[in-house]
Chains A and B, each alone.
Chain A
Amino acid sequence: MALSLTVNGDRVASTADPAAPLVDILREELHLTGAKPVCREGFCGACMVLIDGKPTPSCLTPAALADGCEIQTVEGLATPGQLNRIQAALDASDAVQCGMCFPGMVVSLTHLLTASPDATREDIRAALTGNICRCTGYERIIDATLLALATK
């Protein structure tokens, strides 16, 4: 049975198996390669997407439960030609290194900016428990988030 998803505003159909992880549909059927299946275990956050507005690891979401949902990937967070607030702040703070974790970071932090506009450094750290970065030591990412929070 075909599944119907809304991905970055577009209605798309998929015939994926019901337990196929959403990340594979995004990457292999829709060629949205921002979300990355790094651990496939829910630990690293590299596959994070927003499902009905909530940050969710797409490696643990089966196709059947994404059916009918609104999905936003990192590709759909900015309006064309303009970075969103956290993307701009990460860029301005020179926070990106290898970039492997960044699609997930941007998704989690985009949500944090609206869900917790008063977040402190500690709140940001706690919110990133499920977004692992091998390169940066996190500090610049947190600085960038504070900058984005300050630029309302």
Chain B
Amino acid sequence: MIPGSPMQRVPAAAHNAASSIHVAHSLANALDALSEWGSAGAVFAGGTWIMRSPIRHEPLREHYVAIGRIAELGAVRIGTDVVEIGPVVTHAALAAALADLPEFNVLAAAAGRSANPAIRAMATIGGNLATPGFAAADCVPALLCLDAEIEVAGREGRERMKLEHFLQIRSTLAPGRLVTQIVVPRSERKTAHARLPLRKAGDYPVAIVSFSVSVDAAGRVQAARIAVGSVEPVARRWERLEAALIGRQLDAEGAARTATELAEEFVGRDGVDAPAWYRVSVLPSLVRRAAAAALGA
């Protein structure tokens, strides 16, 4: 991660351990291959997490099924009530598809400002949601605040669940099952994504606040969904802050003050990039930024 450091020599055995990568061209074919490999197999989407396994000292799976070229999993469909997002839509493609829909500013910003341009063209939304070890994933809080649902499928059928539930079960997803769609309801709302990387861009965010509110004609908050990412190991909603904002006139300073009072409910995670306390301490500023951006939208 440190530029200018000696070139990384990873022992060949560590990164060459996968014995097959099957490139699937249809969902049915991917499901067959996954079911054949069982627990020895896994989905390979953008590879931006999997290919870094040796750096994390994690073994590769024996078999991968590459799903990135499956056309039926790569579309964004914008309907009148919902937006349906295929799991292999890349961060770059998602940001471009949502660029003209202000109600999705939060998700367009999450997808469009994560990582760096080359990574955004590889990393997929499905991979972003399905990686339990990645606390700093940008699209997870963004989709929590948009009340997204996740479709999971295996050879035996499909099921739909709230993203909150998916986050609880994702690390124990049965072999042969994968995320096949992300469904996001449409509504009149003001949304924004505030992230704090240590440099202006390129780094993981130390903390993320994803913000979505509906306001009445007088500017009072009618509904609010606010999610916090990267502070704790898994992103979650900040329900006490949401409740405190309901019925109030939305103003960025006031929201930040309330966030200061409520921030102690978070137990930050220590990381090489930032200590636990720092992640929590920046939350009020991120709430201020997110609220201001949402108001401006």
Chain A residues close to B by CB (< 8 Å): 16-21, 24, 36-46, 48, 54-57, 59-62, 64-65, 67, 100-101, 108, 126-127, 129-130, 132-135
Judging by beta carbons under 8 Å apart, are A65 and B21 in contact? yes
Q: Check A130/B4 contact, CB under 8 A, given A17-B18, A65-B21.
A: no
Judging by beta carbons under 8 Å apart, are A48 and B118 in contact? yes
Binds A, one of B50-58, B129-137, B214-222, B259-267: B50-58
The B25-57 residues at the A interface (CB cut-off 8 A) are 44, 47-48, 51-52, 54-55
- Residues of chain A with a CB closer than 8 A to B297's CB: none
Tell me if B234 counts as interface (CB < 8 A to partner A): no
Judging by beta carbons under 8 Å apart, are B1 and A43 in contact? yes
* A54–B7 alpha-carbon span in the complex (Å): 24
- Residues of chain A with a CB closer than 8 A to B19's CB: 17-18
* A60–B80 alpha-carbon span in the complex (Å): 37
* A151–B52 alpha-carbon span in the complex (Å): 39
Binds A, one of B9-17, B145-153, B187-195, B239-247: B9-17
- Residues of chain A with a CB closer than 8 A to B48's CB: 42, 60
Judging by beta carbons under 8 Å apart, are A20 and B66 in contact? no
Judging by beta carbons under 8 Å apart, are B117 and A55 in contact? yes
- Residues of chain A with a CB closer than 8 A to B16's CB: 16-17, 19-20
Judging by beta carbons under 8 Å apart, are B15 and A130 in contact? no
- Residues of chain B with a CB closer than 8 A to A108's CB: 118
Chain B residues close to A by CB (< 8 Å): 1-5, 7-8, 10, 12, 15-21, 23, 44, 47-48, 51-52, 54-55, 60, 64, 66, 68, 115-119, 121-122, 201-202
Q: List 11 A-B contacts (CB under 8 A).
A: A18-B21, A19-B64, A20-B15, A39-B2, A42-B48, A42-B119, A62-B47, A65-B68, A130-B116, A130-B119, A133-B3
* Closest Cβ neighbor of A134 among chain B residues: B4
Judging by beta carbons under 8 Å apart, are A19 and B15 in contact? yes
* Closest Cβ neighbor of A64 among chain B residues: B21
Judging by beta carbons under 8 Å apart, are B23 and A65 in contact? yes
Q: Check A37/B60 contact, CB under 8 A, given A18-B19, A59-B51.
A: no
Shortest C-beta distance, A35 to chain B (Å), equals 11
Judging by beta carbons under 8 Å apart, are B3 and A44 in contact? yes
- Residues of chain A with a CB closer than 8 A to B201's CB: 126, 129
Residue from B3, B5, B12, B68 whose CB has the most chain A CB atoms within 10 Å: B3
Residue from B3, B66, B118, B121 whose CB has the most chain A CB atoms within 10 Å: B118
* A37–B19 alpha-carbon span in the complex (Å): 22
Judging by beta carbons under 8 Å apart, are B8 and A56 in contact? no
* A108–B119 alpha-carbon span in the complex (Å): 13
Judging by beta carbons under 8 Å apart, are B118 and A130 in contact? yes
Q: What 7 A-B pairs have minimum CB-CB distances, sorted nearest first? A: A130-B116, A134-B4, A64-B21, A132-B3, A19-B18, A17-B16, A129-B116
* A18–B50 alpha-carbon span in the complex (Å): 13
Judging by beta carbons under 8 Å apart, are B7 and A65 in contact? no
Judging by beta carbons under 8 Å apart, are A126 and B117 in contact? yes
Please pick, from B23, B60, B118, the residue contacting A64 in the complex, using a CB distance under 8 A.
Answer: B23
Residue from A18, A54, A133, A134 whose CB has the most chain B CB atoms within 10 Å: A18
Judging by beta carbons under 8 Å apart, are B47 and A65 in contact? yes
Judging by beta carbons under 8 Å apart, are B18 and A54 in contact? no
- Residues of chain A with a CB closer than 8 A to B122's CB: 56-57, 60
Not counting A64-B66, A135-B4, a sample of 5 additional A-B residue pairs whose C-beta atoms are within 8 angstroms of each other reads A39-B1, A42-B119, A56-B121, A62-B21, A129-B202
Please pick, from A59, A65, A100, A130, the residue contacting B117 in the complex, using a CB distance under 8 A.
Answer: A130
- Residues of chain A with a CB closer than 8 A to B47's CB: 60-62, 65
* A40–B12 alpha-carbon span in the complex (Å): 13
* A19–B3 alpha-carbon span in the complex (Å): 24
Judging by beta carbons under 8 Å apart, are B23 and A56 in contact? no
- Residues of chain A with a CB closer than 8 A to B55's CB: 40-41
Judging by beta carbons under 8 Å apart, are A21 and B118 in contact? no
- Residues of chain A with a CB closer than 8 A to B51's CB: 19, 21, 42, 59-62
